[in-house]
Amino acid sequence: MSTYEKFFSKCLAKYTYPQIVRRDVTSALETYKELRPKFEDFIHNDGTSRKLVSLDGTIPVRYMGSTYNIPIAIFLFESYPHKSPMVYVRPTNTMQIKPSDFVDSAGLVQLPYMTDWKHPDADLIGLISVLQIVFGETSPVFSKSAPISKRQSLNPQLLPQCIGPMPYPSTLPQPPIPVTPNGQASNMYLPQLGTGWQIPGSVPIPPNLPMPQLPSFATPFTQTANPNMYPMPMPVCPDVSTSSNMPYNTGTLNEEQLKLSVLTAVADQVRRVQKELIYQHQDDLQAIRQTQTGLFSGGQKIQEMINKMQQEKDRVCTEMESVKRKIKDLKETSEKLRKSDSTFVIDEAFDTTAPLYRQLVVSFAEEQAIEDAIYYLGEAMGKNVLDVEIYLKKVRELSRRQFMLRATVQKCREKAGLPTL
């Protein structure tokens, strides 16, 4: 699952619950080997598109006593598992969608299990299991009917299946090609030749070799009692020769032509595998490059943070040295005062830098004290401690004094260049 781990780290960034998505998708991939994870565009009904994780491939379905591989695609939304996935049937070129109560003509699957989706009772494995049961009762696809022409061109990959009188011993006609329930032919095989001939490891392919053609037949294919088997008449392949002087067609494949046919089929298979490997490694390299870019960017950010922390550390060290010096000075001053015999007046320890500021501080403090005195006189009168006449007399006296003090404070602030209150 190392390849899938790279896929998860790349594609689950926008998902709300990436760990649950990783767990369910991994479990589904381990259970259903033919499914593959993808990160592809999903287009909504309103035309908007977004990238979603999907499981694309086939699931085995038991239908009428046979096992079929049904192609599907399951899309997981960003809020999964609290939102139901969306399932589509994706038929191949040889298949066609069969609409039913649960599958529409576009291949969209709607099940009660999806409508009543509720986490954690519903999950991805349970959804696929329900799909197997529903598709086992009503198949969502059926094979397209392909017309059989009387004349068919010979596919190069079918050359090894053309049977004729071989110039080698122990040659037997081959049985017909079996057809699987999903309409695709099973893997092709070579005819059993005699033990005196072996397929060479390397044979040069001559250029411009003419491709042999199958002769036409007057009778079409007929279906036997077995519905899954279609007997194919064994055509006799015409002899392909590089000589231009051959007066007639012998109807046999010579050794050189069979070798070239085998080599062509092997070369095609190798090219397909090569393309798959290149595509797979390109994705890996792209993921590695993106990871490298992210690591480089993260390294720069970490270095910037280290530099800021170093600057902060230097500033803190400087402040600590300053505080230590001030503490030392305070200790020395305290020691001197402790040893001094003179009486220390606390009011003389604090003074302003100029007489104007001293007058401002004293006037402001006295004005605030008068404000408190007027307040407590009102409290005393409310409790019948003072008479009204005494209260009014004291308030008038204090108010006159407070007015003068406020005027003094205002004048001092103007002289000192301070903003007015």
Residue of 213, 189, 211 whose CA lies nearest to 257:
211
CB 124 within 8 A of CB 29: no
245-267 confidence digits (pLDDT tens):
444 444 445 677 677 767 877 88
Q: Dihedral sign for Cα 110, 116, 118, 124, please.
A: negative
Please state, rounded to an integer, the average pLDDT across all residues of the chain: 76
48-69 confidence digits (pLDDT tens):
888 899 999 999 999 888 889 9
Average pLDDT over residues 32-56: 88
The DSSP result for 114-135, as a single string, is HHT--TTT--HHHHHHHHHHHH
12-34 confidence digits (pLDDT tens):
888 999 999 999 999 999 999 89
Residue of 354, 360, 348 whose CA lies nearest to 411:
360
Output the CA torsion 354→355→360→364 (10° steps).
110
More confidently predicted of 282 and 230: 282
HSE of 188, CA atoms in CB hemisphere, 13 A: 13
CB 54 within 8 A of CB 29: no
CA 236 – CA 154 distance, rounded (Å) = 12
- What tokens appear for 294 in the block? 């992210």
Residue of 56, 70, 71, 78 whose CA lies nearest to 11:
78
Res. 274: pLDDT tops 60: yes
Kindly tell me the number of DSSP H helices and DSSP E strands found in the chain. 8, 7
Residue of 237, 192, 249 whose CA lies nearest to 213:
237
